[in-house]
Amino acid sequence: MITISSHILDTVSGDHARGIRVQCLKLSKKQNNLILSEPVFDIIANQEGRILESVELDGSNDNYDLIFHSKSYFESHEAISSSTLKTIQVMEVVTVRLSLTDKKPKYHVPIMLSPHSYSVWWSA
């Protein structure tokens, strides 16, 4: 069992992205040129903009997508929804594809978000 965690930061407000929805999908083999996926977790970041979930690896395919629902997060915040940023936001979600083949006990993936950009890195 491993742990996937993230600290999500809102670069517009300079604060934690509390309340942002984050999904994790396990990717399966391709079928008819489509990548199949199954849900692993679907959670809301805590008051500090953090998530922490345990995931069981089965060794068959250790590729996962972390999906950060940035558009709905920014639309729900008054400072953004009343500005022109809402009308020019082009990213509905930010998807980070992870290959968890190293079997480390913890994968920490911090991300900084704005309505039209993001920065993500891996932290051991």
State mean pLDDT over 106-122.
93
Residue 79: the pLDDT is 56
Q: What is the pTM of this model?
A: 0.88
The separation between the first and the last C-alpha atoms of the chain, rounded to the nearest angstrom, is 16
Q: Count other Cβ atoms within 10 Å, centred on residue 15.
A: 12
**Residue-wise pLDDT tens digits, 49-99:** 999 999 988 777 788 999 999 999 988 876 555 555 555 667 899 999 998
Residue 58: the pLDDT is 78
DSSP string, 104-123: -SEEE--EEEETTEEEE--B
> Which of 3.30.460.80, 3.60.10.10, 2.60.40.180, 3.40.190.10 is the CATH number of 2-120?
2.60.40.180
Contact residues for 78 (Cβ-Cβ < 8 A; gap 6+): none
**Residue-wise pLDDT tens digits, 19-55:** 999 999 999 877 677 778 899 999 999 999 999 999 9
